Structure 1
Amino acid sequence: MRSKIVSEARHASLRRGAVVCSLLAAGLVSSSALAGKNNDGPIVSLTDGQVQGTSASGVNVFRGIPYAAPPVGKLRWQPPQAVKRWNNVRDGSSFGNTCPQVTELGAFAGPTSVTEDCLYLNVFTTGSSKKKGVIVWIHGGGNVDGESNDYDATKLAQGGPDGRETVVVTLNYRMGLFGYLSHPALNGEGHLSGNYGIMDIQQALRWVQRNIAAFGGDPNRVALGGQSAGATDTGANVLSPMSANLLTRAIYESGPLPTLPSAATALGRGQGFATAAGCGTDASKSSAQCLRDLTPERILQLQGTPNANGPYIVGPFVDGTVIPITPEKAWTTGQFNKMPVMGGRVQDEANFSIGITEYFSGQPFVPMTAAQYTSALQATYNGNAGPGGAPPAYPAGTADRVLAQYPLSAFGNDPMKAYNRVQTDTQKCQADHVLHLWAPQITSYAYDFTYQDAPYYFPKMPGFKPGAAHTIDIQFLFDNWHGGQLGVNLDQTTGQPRELTGQETKLSDQLVAAWTNFAWSGNPNGSGNSPWPKYGAGNNAKYLVQDIPLSTSNRKDYRTNYKCDFWDTVLLYPSE
């Protein structure tokens, strides 16, 4: 469905091209006025003007709606500014521009973009009832890549066969060095600074409060959620006092948020970027002007390559204002925006990054070796001093302790299986740590996605089986999600293309029902405590096991499966 919608929109755009050019050249009409002449879809009135969408499968879709002024020129590295009102009916049949990005994470994202005019959102709604629950969805991509175009929310808007009709908003937001940059010259300009991507999302949430009723949504039932980086950004908004009263539920898909970089780390990386770019590292106006004079291409050149970030990337960080305190301090002291939460992780999170590494190794593709497995653990846990002489992240000997817990012999001497468990188990235990802190304070629903055989969008590679890899669960919520334009969902056994079938579709129906029920009521069941029980307190807290069929497990078994007693002695959660 997503591919069909995108294709139809692109073809419609091409058909309009000749007419647009001639009319604009003659000065007879503005581009936003063309909607009424070329589109018979529904029209809604917003605070900034009217927009005309399209209709398909009983769902009205309004694409490419600006929620902030283009952050270009003097507005680069400024908080998002208000949209200039338009007078004619705006054409909402095409997606807005993708935000600047270079690191595509294999087949996950792309193509590369250098367009800073990218602060647009999209709305999916059935239009058949009023005051519906609302889901505002933040795409993933490590806060360096991704785009809203890849997320077809048709099924979520319909609620599937078992859920509730819901208004779904997807959006683009500034990422990488455009979205997260700390520098004395920018920080000293008298405006909020640093976490520009988080401020973009807050601007979109304010847009929702003003406009969502026009699409049948209830501004008092707004679930902010996202996957991966989207889950991180959801947590950042729950931490931020600037998001108070803008959302009423939070969804963490491959979350929740355990830690964030410090202001000092962000400043060091920002000054490193400025030095590499030939700009000053001081607080002068000339340093700020130098940074804003850089071309998007030059910034992306310093940001990274198609397969890796450079050394200056930081993502959301604790700046003291937008994000005032660390997650650990917030979760332990209760200094956050309290609301019902729903979140969890997949069983094989790390297979995503393992697959990307192999993807960029060939062709022919080369799987991880035993030596690379040992080297990777030593690099992470070796106890050496951090960048700039910072204290070691882990005590000396930690790498040996991890290797003793995860010897290759326990995984059939398969380095990728072993590395998946090391890297995934840390994330699973971090999630449990946060959920355990939340349990006495807010209503929480936790899950463990364990289904092993869903199609995956990377090519079939030697020695690699995705299992329940990071991102593989998105397709159960967003119809036919398959990463970026190079992704093709393949059967994990045959390596041939396929979509969800049979019982997989039923699992999709169940998850869509849970997500939409949660948006409506703060309860994924709609009402009651089944099939998804509240997380609860202590080791008897419950997880929903998202598999075929659904089941539940308790926290004690979860912690045993993922070796959390061990990781509790290793993982760090800075409170300052």
Structure 2
Amino acid sequence: MQGRDIKRGWQRRDLIGGVAGIGAVAAIPQLAKASDDPTVDAPTGRYRGTRESGLSVFRGIRYGQDTSGRRFQAPLAPAPTRDVQQATRFAASCPQAGDHYADQSEDCLFLNIWTPGADPRAKRPVLLYIHGGAYSSGSVVDPLNYGDRLAAHGDAVVVTVNHRLNALGYLYLARLDPRFADSGNVGQLDLILALKWVRANIAAFGGDPDRVLAFGQSGGGAKIATMMGMPAAKGLFQRAATMSGQQVTASGPLNASERTSAYLDAVGVNRDHLSPLLSMPVEKLMSGLDAVDPVLGGHVYFGPVLDMKWLTRHPFWPDANPQSNAMPMILGNTHDETRAFIPPGSEAVRGLTWDNLPQRMAPQLRIDILPEWVVAQYREHFPQMTPTEVFYAATTAGRSWRGQVIEAEARARADTPTWVYQLNFASPVEPERGAPHALDIPLVFGTLDAAGSITGTGAAAQRVSRQMMDAFLACARSGDPNHAGLGTWARYSVQRRETMVFDTRSGLADDPRRWQRELFARVPYIQPGS
């Protein structure tokens, strides 16, 4: 799952030079005259957006009330109004550690829409994106997440959503104070409220509320996997796609309570008197995010909680939740996940030798397995690999792929419509990264030359991007990702483990990482944060 700092370095890069085609970004949007700006009459209000490059774009549409006066409580829908609401600029992102997003506020329940046209008769497929950053950071204001290319390419409506994160969205206080019965999952409830807004209003923007694909990368995918098992989300989206983001099990209430205690100690609040949490500056709340996690170590984990109110069972344990088994779903991962958040020049990797590899690798595997044995197995099976290559292959297989394999297996056993992909296309811009975590974001959005992308804008990147965009669009449109520009993508089964490998030459493969999958299947998988 995407950590607090994974993408920050990439997203501060200068914009890569644009080229014509699917990956091109206009330096300055082609804005229409103000008099031509679109105004949409929707059930919950009237919204004025902008006309850009043939699309109607609405930024900063409020779907929930300001949360600053309702910390740790379920969100409320905004009061209806017939006044024209300006939807011409991105609204604030949720407060979080760091200064990557200049505009941060607890008043952050806003969404953005890109549509080819606001004709209620159009009934276009809807793709709703939930950002990564685990459950603690991130925002859809990043250029990688802009929906213009995807909407224009597929004649679809694209929606992106911000919501509460970290302690504001997932601090579990329910066992300490009945006022906060919803606190462990209010970030999820924000997303459910956004989906309800889409259900009620998206037809006015040209979308079909009965063809909504919820898709998300890293933490965004995990949030979707969690919602697939939340009764409150039932029926609000009809298809799902997760990109390197799984949620097999949620945080247990006892472990979540231990994390709450560590956080309260960090911000100086007594467990028997929580009222100071409601009035202290949000900056003080953010300072507590550096508390040490009493279960995992490192910064304190925040995520959905098995609170027996909103989340009454684990998302994919002991099986795939029957609530969503009829839902078509795409599950994907990248070939070199951990090359994103363990940089090649980091202390963990720099100076790797066969002698120090087990010790360096052990904490990054996130499972209890004998690292010396793992190294020996890799050296025997892949004698051409270097210590660095073994480090990344093993940490990716042991840490980042297990959840996806478990979810895919669970859905296959339930005979569900499930398609699995593996992104092998390697970055030509930073070849030392291979195909890292988050590389599929610009490929699916078509934002190849946006700030933060390392896909490059060459013919190969554009071809892979087109294949992935069309697959997600096809799934949104019909519930099946197959399309004319890609060879047959068979459903995933336990017998063959059919996987679409996206690369310079994409194609279907059976169980493409079988040896590594079987190696790590010897030990139990425990979702980090559970």
TM-score category of the 2 structures, normalised to the smaller one: 0.7 to 0.9
Between the aligned partners of 1:333 and 1:136, the Cα distance in structure 2 is 21
Residues 193-213 of structure 1, C-alpha deviation per residue, up to 9 Å, x if partnerless?
311111111010000010000
Residue 312 (1) aligns with residue 285 (2): no
Residues 331/530 of structure 1: CA separation in 2 closer, same or farther (3 Å cut)? farther
Alignment of 1:128-527 (within 5 A): 130-150=122-142, 151-158=145-152, 160=153, 164-184=154-174, 188-189=178-179, 191-282=181-272, 287-304=273-290, 311-329=299-317, 331-332=319-320, 334=322, 336=324, 338-355=326-343, 358=345, 367=350, 369-370=352-353, 373-379=357-363, 394=368, 398-407=370-379, 414-426=386-398, 427-439=400-412, 440-455=414-429, 465-480=432-447, 487-489=451-453, 499-525=456-482
Residue 131 of structure 1: how far off its partner (Å): 1.0
| 2:332 partner SS | strand
Between the aligned partners of 1:43 and 1:350, the Cα distance in structure 2 is 44
The runs of 5 or more residues in structure 2 that have no matched partner are 1-17
Between the aligned partners of 2:351 and 2:201, the Cα distance in structure 1 is 50
| 2:275 partner SS | helix
Residues 98/38 of structure 1: CA separation in 2 closer, same or farther (3 Å cut)? same
| 2:122 partner SS | coil
Q: Which has the larger radius of gyration?
A: 1
| 2:58 partner SS | strand
Between the aligned partners of 2:497 and 2:305, the Cα distance in structure 1 is 31
Residue 317 of structure 1: how far off its partner (Å): 2.9
Matching residue within 88, 95, 99 for 2:94: 99
- Please name the residue that 1:57 is paired with: 53
Residue 259 of structure 1: how far off its partner (Å): 3.2
| Alpha carbons 1:445, 1:532 under 8 Å: kept | no
Q: With the length of structure 2 as denominator, give the TM-score of the two structures.
A: 0.84
Between the aligned partners of 1:58 and 1:415, the Cα distance in structure 2 is 51
Residues 271/467 of structure 1: CA separation in 2 closer, same or farther (3 Å cut)? same
Residue 572 (1) aligns with residue 507 (2): no
**Superposed CA RMSD:** 3.3
- Please name the residue that 2:11 is paired with: none
Aligned length: 496
The runs of 5 or more residues in structure 1 that have no matched partner are 13-35, 105-109, 383-392, 457-463, 492-498
Residues 270-289 of structure 1, C-alpha deviation per residue, up to 9 Å, x if partnerless?
1211122111123xxxx231
Higher relative contact order (CA 8 A, sep 6+): 2
| 1:327 partner SS | coil
- Please name the residue that 1:33 is paired with: none
| Alpha carbons 1:330, 1:336 under 8 Å: kept | no
Residues 4-40 of structure 1, C-alpha deviation per residue, up to 9 Å, x if partnerless?
789769xx9xxxxxxxxxxxxxxxxxxxxxxx99563
Between the aligned partners of 1:336 and 1:488, the Cα distance in structure 2 is 34
Q: With the length of structure 1 as denominator, give the TM-score of the two structures.
A: 0.78
Residues 372-409 of structure 1, C-alpha deviation per residue, up to 9 Å, x if partnerless?
74334333679xxxxxxxxxx63xx6333323334599
| Alpha carbons 1:44, 1:51 under 8 Å: kept | yes
Q: Percent identity?
A: 26
Residue 114 of structure 1: how far off its partner (Å): 4.4
| Alpha carbons 2:325, 2:411 under 8 Å: kept | no
Between the aligned partners of 1:167 and 1:185, the Cα distance in structure 2 is 41
